Structure 1
């Protein structure tokens, strides 16, 4: 048996196990910058079993750790797909047969905006970004957003100032719509973040963010 057939048999076995012990979910694949979790983007309905990354079901997953091992027929999902159902919304982070699928639980819905540049020409090449003319890159995307990365001092720099919180986010990648440094991220709770770094991992973007605190 070669590697391709072995991976296929493992995927099939995962689907059988999920149908016995899992729940029915829908898989969605983003097509553009609009909300991906809509009927037109649904690729398949399938059974999914979610367990801690360790693979053991003897105990609960650690608190605050969003990563899950997904047992399913992994031939039907790709990195960057969303799996939605009774488990909540999970972003498929990796799918590398014969290894299991790694999913990330989404806890926010975010939009990514590209600020406009200065509109007035001048001798000095420096110019601040303009949030008023920002255009949407991604809108209504489920994302995993967790504290982490590098925090920063507030701009006033007073001794008793609290630091600006740093976050790490993961969101599905869409061809031709790559986030960039200095883009603005807004979540459903009205918080705003500035993108400090962008790294592509397969079908997802990993974002380093700093919260913008008024």
Structure 2
């Protein structure tokens, strides 16, 4: 049996298992960086997700966004989203013969590119303003989970709390490169400043500090 036939059998097995134990999910495939799902769902598939344990013998834990997906892999691609009324996942990896790796999405984010504004006067000041930010990606479900314990506020007054850090996972989209100092916003109206953005074969892995408003 060659690799292609073996892979087809694996996908078929996943599909049959998902039909027995998994609910229906809408399959979305991003078509643009801005408003990526304007074309609507492209299919409806049964899918089941487990905590990287195909025996379904353990629950997921805090701070762990990755899952194994039982779904018909012949219908999905890396970067696709599976969503229903309860959960949204994106497909991070479909490596040959191995389980399909998915990421649980708990927030919807936008990626913005700040533009430094020049000031006037004896001591000019340049800073980021919302009006000068350019949208790179909008409306993308992503995993946004707490990172390290936080960073001290620059003013560091006695009553100040640390600025929290976050670990963010999201798919990549062709032609969009996320960089240090880019701004992220989410559906809770929080703002984050990107500290580092690593482009991997699983998508973007971002470390960001929550901005004070």
Normalising by structure 2, report the TM-score: 0.88
Larger strand share, 1 or 2: 1
Q: Give, in angstroms, the shift of residue 64 of structure 1.
A: 4.2
Query: Matches of 1:76 and 1:190 in 2, distance apart?
Result: 34
Q: Is residue 31 of structure 2 the alignment partner of residue 31 of structure 1?
A: yes
- Cross-structure match for 1:208: 207
Two-structure CA RMSD over aligned residues (Å) = 2.5
Structure 1 unaligned segments of length 5 or more: list them: none
Does the CA-based 8 Å contact 1:146-1:169 persist in structure 2? Answer: yes
Aligned mates of 1:118, 1:62 — CA distance in 2: 44
Residues 11-160 of structure 1 aligned to structure 2 (within 5 Å): 11-38=11-38, 40-119=39-118, 127-149=126-148, 151-158=150-157
> Following TM superposition, by how much is the alpha carbon of 1:95 offset from its aligned partner in structure 2, in angstroms?
1.1
Q: 56-65 vs 89-98, which deviates more?
A: 56-65
> CA deviation digits over 1:50-96, x for unaligned, max 9?
11112232343224432211011112222211111255100111111
Superposed displacement of residue 167, structure 1: 0.3
Q: Do the aligned partners of residues 32 and 149 (structure 1) sit closer, same or farther apart at CA in structure 2, a change above 3 Å counting?
A: farther
Match of 1:152, SS state, is coil
Deviations 1:92-150 (A, max 9, x none): 111112111111111111111111123469xx9x9433433111111111111000157
**Contact 1:149–1:208 under 8 Å retained in 2:** no
Where does structure 2 lack aligned partners over 5 or more consecutive residues?
none
For these two proteins, the number of residue pairs brought into alignment is: 212
Given the superposition, is the C-alpha separation of residues 149 and 175 from structure 1 closer, same or farther in structure 2, using an over 3 Å criterion? Answer: farther
**TM-score, with length taken from structure 1:** 0.88
Alpha-carbon offset, residue 159 of structure 1: 5.7
Does the 8 Å contact 2:63/2:146 carry over to 1? no
* Contact residue 82 and residue 90 of structure 2 kept, 8 A: yes
Higher relative contact order (CA 8 A, sep 6+): 1
For residue 196 of structure 1, report the CA deviation from its aligned partner.
Answer: 0.7
